[in-house]
Amino acid sequence: PKTDIVFLKVHKSASSTVMNILFRFGETHNLTFAFPQGGGFQLSYPYHFLARFVQGFSPHSPRRFNILCHHMRFLQPEVQKVVPSSAVYFSILRNPVQLMESSFVYYKGASAFSRVRSLEEFLRQPQRYYDPARGDRHYARNLMTFDFGFNPDGDVSPERVQLMLRAIEASFDFLLISEYFDESMVLLKEMLCWDLDSVVSFPLNSRDSSTKSSLPASSVERLKAWNRLDWEIYAHFNRSFWERIERRIGAARLPRELRALRARRAELARLCLQGSGSVAPKDIKDSSLRPLQHGGARILGYNLKQGLEGELERTCRRLVTPELQYSSLLYKRQFPPQRP
């Protein structure tokens, strides 16, 4: 199994669920994490990543961390200072249409969105509301492009786009696609040589459907033009994702792998969860399992069955622990508080 991993946690792309998978694997195998200084939850985002943002990093010590997975704006030369040279690099992408709809609800307070009632209104005249000089501009344009370290207001000429795509290919071993999450988990298991239980998960940080809305076709076309760089990244790596699935897993084996993954998830849901799945924030009985609520989104969570014991209770609890709580727990384990 691969144990040295860099995961670029792209916003609003099922990345919290992938992060939970990495947290569980790292905890089970006693691996070290590159935590933000002071136990924060982002690596000085939205600034480009620097090695000194990592707790315990010193330019004078050769210490390397096994897993880097907190939000950052990617800058590979700095990342290479904190992880072993053997690290596997991967990320996950989302269709830019759904990604921007989610970003609009979640980051409603961002400067570009604060004066509009709807995403459609913003897309009719984005330049009226969007200020490229504002520090939170990236939430409103080419968010994936920004997270990968590039300029969200950059040149969209075919030559510049090809340079960006080639740079991403040179840095990352593979990219997953959130719309095909189960297929992505099958590929992740294959690429990292992990077992099935390591990649089984329940969706985390997902929104209540009451806060989701679909856009008319005219707005979708405007959105794709406004987020042209994101669209180019998504279209390119969606193609290469399926090519890699075909090459590594094949059409005959993929359905078997998907059945095994879904059967195990259903089995864990029966063992672990009260009711049929996720619940609204107000209905989560254990406050330690309540996810952070942000913007106009209602983030769902889970209730565990009563009376779980031992290893099963631990497994179930880890599967549904929101990322902030899980990150804090692992940080305290890796950097125990000093006794006075």
Within a domain: 306: no
Q: How far apart are the first and last CA of the chain?
A: 40
Within a domain: 313: no
Rounded Cα distance between 182 and 263, Å, is 12
Name residues of the chain where pLDDT drops below 50: none
Within a domain: 272: no
Within a domain: 35: yes
Local structure of 22: helix, strand or coil? helix
Give the pLDDT of residue 225. 97
Within a domain: 334: no
Give the pLDDT of residue 61. 84
Q: 228: burial class by Cβ within 10 Å (0-12, 13-18, 19+)?
A: middle
Give the pLDDT of residue 211. 65
Within a domain: 101: yes
Handedness of CA 200, 205, 210, 214 (dihedral sign): negative
Within a domain: 130: yes
Number of domains in the chain: 1
Domain that holds residue 121: 5-196+212-251
- Residue 79, domain CATH: 3.40.50.300
User: What does each C-alpha distance from 39 to 28, 56, 92, 290, 331 come to in angstroms?
Assistant: 20, 11, 24, 19, 6
* Residues 254/183, Cβ–Cβ less than 8 Å: yes
Rounded Cα distance between 104 and 88, Å, is 32
Structure tokens at 128: 């009226």
* Residues 192/3, Cβ–Cβ less than 8 Å: no
pTM, full prediction: 0.96
Within a domain: 276: no
Rounded Cα distance between 233 and 142, Å, is 10
Which residues lie across from 93 on neighbouring strands?
177
Give the pLDDT of residue 213. 77
Rounded Cα distance between 305 and 76, Å, is 43
CA proximity to 105, closest of 292, 280, 295: 295
Torsion angle, alpha carbons of 89, 92, 96, 100, to 10 = -110
Please compute, for residue 60, the number of CA atoms within 13 A of its CA located in the half-sphere on the CB side. Answer: 0
Give the pLDDT of residue 206. 86
Amino acid at 156: V
